[in-house]
Structure 1
Amino acid sequence: WKELQELIYQDQPYTFLFWIDRVVAVDSRFANVNPIPLSSLYELEKWYDKTAVSDLATNE
């Protein structure tokens, strides 16, 4: 196991030396929001506006 870790360490393309802290704020009208540290827009295609959905339901 130690040999494998050493090989990965030696062969890595780059080393992360710092991390950027981010603050993400999303209006509560949006649902399915799941930001992750690497991307505040993670799975953006799954987000939806709850008020728009409720408006559609009342207009039918």
Structure 2
Amino acid sequence: MQTIETLNHHRSTLKGGGKIVIIDPGAVLTAEATAMLQALHSRSTGGVDEHLKVLAEKGAD
């Protein structure tokens, strides 16, 4: 069974120091979980990887 930790997200580092992360939702990230990920990202600077950890630990509920 897939979990958030085992999803294969695509990451690219930009020359200017930024990065692009394309999220692979698989069958794990529901619409609610994706909305929670976006909400976490818009409210803090922890980065997508940290927000995915929070989502894996606490869920979207």
Task: Name the TM tier (shorter chain).
Answer: under 0.3
TM-score normalised per structure 2: 0.28
TM-score computed with the length of structure 1 as normaliser: 0.28
Bigger Rg, which one = 1
- Between the two structures, name the one with larger relative contact order (CA 8 Å, sep ≥ 6): 2
